Structure 1
């Protein structure tokens, strides 16, 4: 199946329509600041991660804020920060095939870029029958007591909660996967490496379930927190200006890969001038050393943060189809 912008729009319309028809809670997935309009119908079905609110709140209250960065009224490019109610925005396909993907957008751990690395991809894969969940995760530099592990706590909890509620979404709890972009790719890689590491105290029955992704797809990911390949902004937002060598090691997924890490699909552009492609190569080498199946696609052109829209007209635009073909071979779905 070849995916395109029309498929993405159809998926987004379906997700919004099904949520409205099912009477889902009408919490706006990305609240606005009053100075922009959504270019497409927005998903209205959300799942709060923590039943009694986020754990170990910062000393200073956070105000969730959205900045619209696009100058094109037909395209949104929103960045969200101050997230104190971590949640999943749900994209239901018209005909679910039983597979699910949790998507972690990027943003350098400064903010969460919900459109080009979240909603657009979720709509695209929903059009292929995959139920998608876009994660609004807490940011480690905003004063959370859990520090650099706070976003991993949200990712682990989200995976468990999706599995716990799988029947509501007609998905197979065994086939819940993870995909992330840039800093969200770091979170995805951290999850595939440390899915079994306790980062929070269990709050309900959902936390008895595994957080291990069925498959994982870090796309142009931040991986290393050590020089020379670390992305300086992500490193500082996660670990502060002068991290110790131990902190760098603990939060570099390539240095923490277990033997039971999930099969992994990696994409990067050789001309990425923000996050060097060596990050993906380090992750690939670490996975191969552990004999974990890994598929890697390196494109000559693409730069950084291409998602779908910025890859149009380039060979890198085919990465979603390559992912689906590979995911099918791994058993994520049939057909």
Structure 2
């Protein structure tokens, strides 16, 4: 049996030296939200050690400041995956953030609301709303976090990868309204995708994610809108993608079509496909001796987002 808890309050109660700051994403009411008194957030820790968060009603950012003694003055927003039904909060969130903080990045783990008709007027834009709010908030307060406003990226795994790709391609679709700071760009400066859901097209999508986000019978216009490979433009941010060829959860065709679209629009992209690894390997692919996050670190160095190691 898993251990149930409220994740945000648990983090805030920790008063030790390694306690992380948790920021509530919205200071006032959440636009487009509905109240459901019987809808309460739950987090369970499975036998595999993964913390799975569901029924999020109060989205937050958990902050990991640089721990290396060097500040790259760059930030990344991390979106854990889970089929738009749960968030694998530590495996695809806090564990990744800790390592990136050791490289000099300021990492923010986004606990975003999962699409639900009970708490959202339009569940298809609920997660995107939280991603837009996250980047708008960090960029508008960049000085507070000692980061450059033009070095803020988005990262996501699986369905969280779809959210990251959605922000990277739909940032001009402002769903925040008054919750957006004035004159603040919603465009990420870079994008990092781990075994991402990209498309909502029936032949290659992850149907669980599609049904959770768009419902059982979405019209084709909505399907196309959230098929990120169809929304790429010349202004889509440079992208790093990692996945495994034997991924039976999200077909690799998702990433391949996205790469093709990026190349068509001359957007710099780096792609790493491991022969084995399956789906959901997080920061460590146990079926490969290679450390894919070292590849990511090299990419960040190459793009001058973090300093090159001296050793």
CA contact (8 A) 1:160 1:207 kept: no
**How many angstroms apart in 1 are the aligned matches of 2:100 and 2:77?**
11
Q: Contact 1:178–1:188 at 8 Å: present in 2 too? A: yes
Structure 2: any 5+ residue segments left out of the alignment? Answer: 1-5
Distance (Å, rounded) in 1 between the aligned partners of 2:294 and 2:7: 27
Kept after mapping to 1: 8 A contact 2:72/2:305: no
1:174 and 2:150 are equivalent in the alignment: yes
Change (3 A) 1:187 1:41: farther
Q: Distance in 2 between matches of 1:305 and 1:203?
A: 33
Deviations 1:291-320 (A, max 9, x none): 1111111110110000124x13614x5211
Contact 1:224 1:279 in 2 (8 A): yes
Tell me whether 1:278 sits opposite 2:253 in the alignment: yes
CA distance, structure 2, for counterparts of residue 234 and residue 291 of structure 1? 29
2:174 corresponds in structure 1 to: 198
2:212 aligned with 1:237, yes or no? yes
Q: What whole-Å deviation, never above 9, does each CA across 1:76-99 have from its counterpart, x for those lacking one?
A: 311111211111000011332211
The whole-number CA distance in structure 1 between the counterparts of 2:90 and 2:307 is 28
Q: Is 1:150 paired with 2:126?
A: yes
Contact 1:31 1:66 in 2 (8 A): no
Residue 264 of structure 2 is matched in structure 1 by 289
Deviations 1:53-74 (A, max 9, x none): 3223224232111121235xxx
CA RMSD after TM alignment: 1.9
Q: Which of 10, 28, 31 lines up with 1:52 in the alignment?
A: 28
Deviations 1:213-259 (A, max 9, x none): 11101110001111211101101100111122111101111111121
Distance 2:62 2:33 in 1: 22
Matched residues in 2 for 1:132 and 1:326: separation?
A: 17
CA contact (8 A) 1:195 1:212 kept: yes
CA contact (8 A) 2:52 2:87 kept: yes
1:204-215 equivalences under 5 Å are: 206-215=181-190
Structure (1 or 2) with the greater helix fraction: 1
Give aligned pairs, total. 295
Cα distance, 1:31 vs structure 2: 4.8
Cα deviations by residue, 1:30-72 (Å, 9 ceiling, x for unpaired): 456xxxxx9x99743012111103223224232111121235x
Q: Which runs of 5+ in 1 are unaligned?
A: 1-27, 33-37
Pair 1:269 & 2:244 matched: yes
> For 1:125-160, what per-residue CA distance to the aligned partner results, in whole angstroms no more than 9, with x for missing partners?
111111100001111134311321111111011011
TM-score normalized by the length of structure 1: 0.83
Q: Is 1:185 equivalent to 2:161 in the alignment?
A: yes
- Which of 303, 306, 310 is equivalent to 1:330? 303
User: What SS does the corresponding residue of 2:241 show, helix, strand or coil?
Assistant: strand
Confirm or deny: 8 A CA contact 1:178 1:213 kept in the other structure. yes
Tell whether the 8 Å contact from 1:267 to 1:296 is kept in structure 2 after alignment: yes
Match of 1:89 in 2: 62
Shift of 1:119: 0.5
Q: Which residue of 2 aligns with 1:68?
A: 45
Paired position in structure 1 for 2:3: none
Q: How far apart are the structure 2 equivalents of 1:333 and 1:44?
A: 22
Contact in 2 for aligned 1:217/1:266 (Cα 8 Å): yes
Q: Is the 8 A contact 2:132 2:176 kept in 1?
A: no
Q: 1:8-157 residue pairs with structure 2 within 5 A? A: 29-31=7-9, 43-61=19-37, 62-71=39-48, 76-94=49-67, 95=69, 96-143=71-118, 144-157=120-133
TM-score, normalised to structure 2's length?
0.89
SS in 2 for 1:179: strand
